[in-house]
Structure 1
Amino acid sequence: MLLSTRRGCGFNSVKLSLRVIIVLCILLIYVSSRILLSSFSSALPDKIEPNFRIDNSYQKYNHQHDNADDIIDNIIANDRNIVDILEYNESMSTNYTAQISQYQSESGTTVTNTTTAAPTKKPPSMEDMIIDTQRQKIAAEMNDFNFTEEMIGLSSLTPETNGRQIHNIIISTWRSGSTFLGDILNAIPGTFYHFEPLAHFLTAQIRGPPKSTDAINTISELLKCNYTGLQQYLRHSKESGNQFLRAHTVPLWNSCKPHENLCWDPNFLNSFCRLFPIQTMKIVRLRAAFAESLFKDPALNVKVVLLIRDPRGTMASRKPHSWCDRPDCNTSAELCKDLVDDFKSAKILINKYPSQFKAIRYEDLSLNPFNMTKEIFNFYGMPFDQNIDNYLDLHTRTRDGGDYSTFRDSKTVPFLWTRSSTWAEVQRIQSYCAKAMSVWGYKLIDNKKELNSTMFNPLLQNPFAYDADFAAT
């Protein structure tokens, strides 16, 4: 009995323990479910039933998943749009590049900024149009020009095409026929003519440094078509009373006069000068000895003609002009000293540079203009064509115009001084100029009767006489 009682008590204890374990398991399951549900929706009210919470959490997850799918779809669609845009831009860039290449080929220009809109041709400047017009005029003028073998063609003579320009210079003094000879040379097609480029030295003869250094530099830079550093030359020729100097350069004056600032713009002048195959200068302030400085510069390609006149004719021609009021111009002693020095220089230069230096007398040119001009042109290497023949025929038959006119009866003009000068004036000049007249071949007048005689011939043999055989052809 006692044993049965003990067995009953043990069984009851086991049952109690099982119940406790079961309760604990239920509590564990409940707590675990709470934790699991909280991961889906920790914000749901405690009183909502567990099944609803689970269903709602899955619905929210599914909704978020659907949204994610939509986002991915949108991204894929956007990617496709981006690819389409990139392909379109590449196509447009290819087309635009092709358009630019075609434009560059047609216009000869270069487009460097391809981010801009369609390229447009830059309109030419006024200076460019003037230059181009003159270039065409020169080409037309030279179309019938008789180029020598040395010249080859126009492009071989123009600096803008790296050609070797021809440079012809006349050295003389005031009122000695240089304008007449200069205008003959200026009648050659394609000539850029400098009328007294040393005028800014005023009424003075240049016989040594520092003036001679400045003068040679001015001449050299002009012949090289470089006006950039010639401020004094440009400033002087721009003054209202001196613009006639520029007007003698007819092509330049006609081109720039409507836009006057261009006439003295160094950059424009540099470009304009480089169009011409020939430059010609007539210089009346520089003595012959300084021609050697020009010969020593091979880049200049210079030939010089020294033009001499009977001092009695020169002084008579200067007498009416008020500008000739300085000792270098109005005194026969200074003139004839220069004539003697020029003779000495001429002997040296003709011997040393026979193909580059020549001396002639104005009277010989005037008495025999056609043959002497042929000789001068032969020396300069210029063809004597019908245009020059016509010019001489027009300008040497009759006198027309004022004291500066080159329309004249050339056979009488050199000797007008025998009628306009008094015997006293002739005596005074001859007293200072006997040596100069002797070396250059001019005859002295012995008395007043001889001065008034229509039979008097003041010319003796020219010491540098031109070739008579050539003149007769």
Structure 2
Amino acid sequence: MKYATSFAVIIIAGIGTILLTNTLYQNSFSANSIVDRFPQPPHKIARMRTLVNKKYEINNTGEYILSTPRKSDFRPVTLDANSSTEKQMNSKVYKGIHILATGRSGSSFLGKILANSERVFYLYEPGRLIDLYRPSNESAITKSTKQLQRYGHIINSLYHCRFENMEPYLNSMRQRVNYRQQLCDIQSLLGHPCDNDKDPSGISPKLYNTIETKLTGLHEQCENKEFIVIKSIRIFDILNLSQLFNDSEIDFKILHLIRDPRGMTLSKLKAWAPDVIKKMKAEDRSVFDVQDLPSDWYSGLDDWCKAWIKDASIGQQMVSKYMAVRYEDISMMPLMTTREIYDRLGLGEVSEHVVNWLNEHTKESRGDEYSVSRNSMLNAENWRRDMTYMLAKQIQDMENCGKFLDTFGYIKVKRPQDLTNSSLSLSGQKH
């Protein structure tokens, strides 16, 4: 009888162990499913998955706790110069800021606001050189997953002040006959416009060297600055930057630039639709109408509105790692908004140099469609003057662009008179 009782206890204990193991396995699977499906901030996902998959045991109060590690769980670690652990111990933490933007949204102007800080090393559109000097059989970044992944690796390197991944593109400049243009391309990477009509002596002396010395010069300049800022219009999905949030060597933040899709569309038409401009001139028209918007732009515009809403939704969960700023707020209140950006990103006080630059570049419009010198107060809603009511209505009636306007506080036009009513701001309240 004694043996029978002991045997029964063993059987019951065994069944209990099996049921408990199965329950823990199911809980782990369920938690992983929640991590994968619930929209968590990218920098938390890896840690959450790690915690979910840890081994658990039950303490005497019935709570799940992490199991005590055993000696067999540890393995000897050998540090060498190339190990990630050694790099983490010896390397500094870079402060990276990424301007997440799209074309004709005012990103060059915003980039210059940050670039004028003495604490910032600024890179203007590194993807432009990749697209410009890519092999003829490869697609542009925005049209190729492979190129986008490659661009992601390059951006990661640039936030570590490493330019070796850019070398194939920088060196390919030597294949061009116009050496002056090569220097201009390097200078534009650092956010400095270059006039091809000027004598080469007008180009920055630091950059007027052979192509081979550029990498060293860029690295030294980068290492001597506290912040690394990259402006790019070639990344539309904030999740494509998630690896940077998980990099222990980078204190990474995103500055998300928002612009009214009505104003952005008009800016794109003026800069990117020469056939439309030519047709309007032939018809003696200066105001853009519905028929002037290329048919393939409709779906692209609505997709962009959808993507920006999603990116903002994800970004807002990142709290201190994310800031959204509207182009209209920068334009109408440049100094106040600049101070808010500097404070939020940790750039400190806005220097007198930055204030002077703002005063010089926001009072009057100079240059072409790509100039960063504008009468910013007027430019914020200039589109109202050059767009018909029907075109404005067509844009705001798109499913996602309508949601975009509501989400970011813009005002929809309800009648033609709204466009000409100067007392009505269509930018709404500061977001």
**TM-score (ref. length: structure 1):** 0.56
Aligned-partner residue type, residue 155 of structure 2: I
Is 1:356 aligned to residue 321 of structure 2?
A: yes
CA separation in 2, counterparts of 1:251 and 1:407?
Answer: 14
Corresponding residue of 2:403: 435
**Contact persistence 1:318–1:330 (CA under 8 A):** no
Matches within 5 A, 1:370-409: 370-383=335-348, 384-409=350-375
The structural deviation recorded for 1:234 is 2.7
The structural deviation recorded for 1:176 is 0.5
**Contact persistence 2:93–2:248 (CA under 8 A):** no
Corresponding residue of 1:182: 111
CA separation in 1, counterparts of 2:101 and 2:327?
Answer: 10
Name the SS of the counterpart of 1:229 in structure 2: helix
CA separation in 2, counterparts of 1:232 and 1:332?
Answer: 36
Corresponding residue of 2:100: 171
Matches within 5 A, 1:53-452: 163-199=92-128, 200-201=130-131, 206=142, 209-231=145-167, 233-234=169-170, 244-248=184-188, 249=190, 254-262=204-212, 265-287=214-236, 288-322=238-272, 331-351=297-317, 353-383=318-348, 384-432=350-398, 433-452=401-420
Name the SS of the counterpart of 2:370 in structure 1: coil
The structural deviation recorded for 1:442 is 1.9
The structural deviation recorded for 1:192 is 2.1
Aligned-partner residue type, residue 337 of structure 1: D
1:369/1:267 Cα in 2 relative to 1: closer, same or farther (>3 Å)?
A: closer
**Contact persistence 1:228–1:267 (CA under 8 A):** no
Name the SS of the counterpart of 2:376 in structure 1: coil
Of stretches 308-317 and 448-457 in structure 1, the one that deviates more from structure 2 is: 448-457
1:228/1:348 Cα in 2 relative to 1: closer, same or farther (>3 Å)?
A: same
1:270/1:205 Cα in 2 relative to 1: closer, same or farther (>3 Å)?
A: closer
**Contact persistence 2:186–2:207 (CA under 8 A):** no
**Contact persistence 1:291–1:304 (CA under 8 A):** no
Name the SS of the counterpart of 2:377 in structure 1: coil
Name the SS of the counterpart of 1:415 in structure 2: coil
**Contact persistence 2:120–2:228 (CA under 8 A):** yes
CA separation in 2, counterparts of 1:420 and 1:336?
Answer: 21
The structural deviation recorded for 1:247 is 2.2
Name the SS of the counterpart of 1:198 in structure 2: helix
Show CA shifts across 1:28-71 (max 9, x none): xxxxxxxxxxxxxxxxxxxxxxxxxxxxxxxxxxxxxxxxxxxx
CA separation in 1, counterparts of 2:415 and 2:171?
Answer: 49
Show CA shifts across 1:417-449 (max 9, x none): 111123343233223322222222222212322
The structural deviation recorded for 1:404 is 2.1
* Runs (5+) with no aligned partner, structure 1: 1-160, 466-473
CA separation in 2, counterparts of 1:213 and 1:343?
Answer: 23
CA RMSD of aligned residues (A): 3.3
Name the SS of the counterpart of 1:398 in structure 2: coil
**Contact persistence 1:206–1:286 (CA under 8 A):** yes
CA separation in 1, counterparts of 2:351 and 2:164?
Answer: 36
Aligned-partner residue type, residue 282 of structure 1: K
Corresponding residue of 1:62: none
Structure whose CA Rg is larger: 1
The structural deviation recorded for 1:308 is 0.6
**Contact persistence 2:271–2:369 (CA under 8 A):** no
CA separation in 2, counterparts of 1:361 and 1:333?
Answer: 23
Name the SS of the counterpart of 2:209 in structure 1: helix
The structural deviation recorded for 1:258 is 2.4
1:278/1:255 Cα in 2 relative to 1: closer, same or farther (>3 Å)?
A: farther
The structural deviation recorded for 1:189 is 0.9
CA separation in 1, counterparts of 2:299 and 2:182?
Answer: 28
Name the SS of the counterpart of 1:321 in structure 2: helix
The structural deviation recorded for 1:328 is 11
CA separation in 2, counterparts of 1:286 and 1:410?
Answer: 26
CA separation in 1, counterparts of 2:243 and 2:304?
Answer: 18
CA separation in 1, counterparts of 2:296 and 2:383?
Answer: 16
CA separation in 2, counterparts of 1:307 and 1:450?
Answer: 26
Name the SS of the counterpart of 1:451 in structure 2: helix
Percent identical residues = 25
Aligned-partner residue type, residue 365 of structure 2: R
Name the SS of the counterpart of 1:359 in structure 2: strand
CA separation in 1, counterparts of 2:103 and 2:172?
Answer: 19
* Runs (5+) with no aligned partner, structure 2: 1-89, 133-138, 194-202, 276-292
**Contact persistence 1:328–1:334 (CA under 8 A):** no
CA separation in 1, counterparts of 2:322 and 2:413?
Answer: 31
CA separation in 1, counterparts of 2:167 and 2:274?
Answer: 25
Aligned-partner residue type, residue 420 of structure 1: D
**Contact persistence 1:396–1:409 (CA under 8 A):** yes
Greater relative contact order (Cα 8 A, min sep 6): structure 1 or 2? Answer: 2
Name the SS of the counterpart of 1:281 in structure 2: strand
Aligned-partner residue type, residue 341 of structure 2: I
